[in-house]
Amino acid sequence: MKIHLIDGTYELFRGFYGPPPRKAPDGREVGATIGLLRSLLALLSNPEVTHLAVAFDHVVESFRNDLFDGYKTGEGIDPDLFAQFHLAEEAVAALGIVVWPMVEFEADDALATAALRFKGDPAVDQVVICSPDKDLAQLVSQNHVVCWDRRREIVYDEAAVLEKYGVGPSSIPDYLALVGDAADGIPGVPGWGAKSSGIVLSKYKYLEKIPAKLEDWEIKVRGAKRLHENLSNHREEAFLYRRLATLRSDVPLTEQPDELKWVCPRENFAKFCQSLGTANLLDQLPK
């Protein structure tokens, strides 16, 4: 079987900023939730999609906010989008899909825990992580665990991760520590860009293996002196940023692969769609 793991928060954001806004009969903004449901119904129409789960950030803050004050928060999220966070979880559950709402952890941690657990199951042929987020690239394992950017129709196996970032999956947290990740509020190390980080980590792989002395660097990279100086001055921060970018694998998920099989919506799905003002979603259900 294939296991499809979906980043529900990403899909909800995509549903909010893609299609035009839409009001429910009671006046609530529900366009993002409807967009999310349409996306999942399109996914379920694929005969290869049989077992799946959706992870959500039930709240935006997580344990990472306790580690770093600059980490992402809910500040700046459009209120019409933020108001749909819990509604989206209800919608996906009504569709009959397993939902993982994260509070202490983040949705990506749930995807990481599931991917690492299920890839070792002999019944699982492949784990497909449905998200383009670069931090999830650290989970890719040969062709057994891949990331699928559904919008661009690009599948990232290990070779594709290496081609895109210049480093393998295991070095992605170190790469993000150097380059930064604006979406998560990780500033990175000054002066370190994608190219320089890729060159250095392709040789040394991890932060702690980058020689402390510049004369010991066995690579040629533009601006090496400044890169070395900045890394030396921000070494502790870099290790903190790597910790922030490293996904957790200890989220307490209980489901086994067979429990992720999609069968049909729950009995309340039709009524739920009516409450959104979009009863025609029922016509998109796989036959």
**pLDDT band at 195, cuts 50/70/90?**
very high
For residue 98, what pLDDT is reported?
98
The contacts found for 28-31 with CB under 8 angstroms, 24 or more apart, are: 28/83, 28/87, 29/80, 29/83, 29/84, 30/84, 30/87, 30/276, 30/277, 30/278
Same domain, 84 and 131: yes
Name the domain count of the chain: 2
pLDDT at res. 113: 98
| pLDDT band, residue 284 (cuts 50/70/90) | confident
Q: Do 15 and 97 fall within a single domain?
A: yes
Q: Model confidence over 211-222: pLDDT tens digits?
A: 999 999 999 999
Residues 115-127 pLDDT 10s: 999 998 999 999 9
Q: How close are the terminal C-alpha atoms of the chain, in Å?
A: 20
Give the pLDDT of residue 279. 84
Same domain, 128 and 185: no
Using CA atoms, how far residue 39 sits from 33, 88, 132, 260, in Å, is 10, 12, 15, 18
φ/ψ bin of 101: left (φ > 0), alpha (ψ from -120 to 50), beta (otherwise)? beta
Mean pLDDT value across residues 48-60: 96
**What pLDDT, on the 0 to 100 scale, is given for residue 283?**
86
| 197 and 88 together in one domain | no
* Best CA proximity match to 178, nearest among 258, 131, 241, 135: 241
Domain that holds residue 76: 2-161+249-284
The answer to whether 91 and 33 are in contact (CB under 8 A) is: yes
Predicted TM-score (pTM) of the model is 0.95
How far apart are the C-alpha atoms of 44 and 41, rounded to whole Å? 5
Average pLDDT, the chain: 96
Mean pLDDT in residue range 33-46 = 96
Residues 272 and 157 in one domain: yes
- Which residues does 70 contact at the CB level (< 8 Å), separation at least 6? 185, 186, 187
| pLDDT value of residue 131 | 96
Angstrom distances, CA of residue 227 to CA of 175, 185, 208, 234: 14, 21, 15, 10
User: What's the confidence (pLDDT) of residue 73?
Assistant: 92
**Is there a single domain that holds both residue 26 and residue 124?**
yes
Strand partners, 184: none
pLDDT tens, residue by residue, 262-274 = 999 999 999 999 9
Q: What is the CATH number of the domain that holds 231?
A: 1.10.150.20
Rounded mean pLDDT, 178-207:
97
Residue 189: what pLDDT? 98
Q: CA distances (Å), 133 to each of 44, 145, 187, in order? A: 21, 15, 17
pLDDT at 282: 83
Percent of the chain's residues with pLDDT above 70: 100
**pLDDT at residue number 285:** 86
Burial class (CB in 10 A: 0-12, 13-18, 19+), 248: middle
Do both 104 and 150 map to the same domain?
Answer: yes
Do residue 30 and residue 136 come from a single domain? yes
Residue 9 has pLDDT above 90, yes or no: yes
- pLDDT at 48 > cutoff 80: yes
Q: Above 80 in pLDDT, residue 140?
A: yes
Are 90 and 67 in a shared domain?
A: yes
Within this chain, do residues 259 and 179 fall inside the same structural domain, yes or no? no
What pLDDT is stored for residue 287 in this prediction? 72
pLDDT score of 286: 84
Contact status, residue 53 vs residue 130, Cβ threshold 8 Å: no
pLDDT band at residue 24 under the 50/70/90 scheme: very high
Phi, psi of 101 (to 5 degrees): -90, 120
Length of the chain: 287
Among left, alpha and beta (phi > 0; psi -120 to 50; other), residue 222 is beta
Same domain, 155 and 79: yes
Q: What is the pLDDT of residues 74-129, one digit of tens each?
A: 898 999 999 999 999 999 999 999 999 999 999 999 999 999 999 989 999 999 99
Are 22 and 53 in the same domain? yes
Rounded mean pLDDT, 14-38: 94
- C-alpha dihedral over 53, 54, 58, 60, to 10 degrees? 130
**Close Cβ partners of 224 (under 8 Å, ≥ 6 residues apart):** 214, 217
CATH, residue 275: 3.40.50.1010
Instruction: Read off the pLDDT band of 19 (50, 70, 90).
Output: confident
Does position 156 have pLDDT exceeding 80, yes or no?
Answer: yes
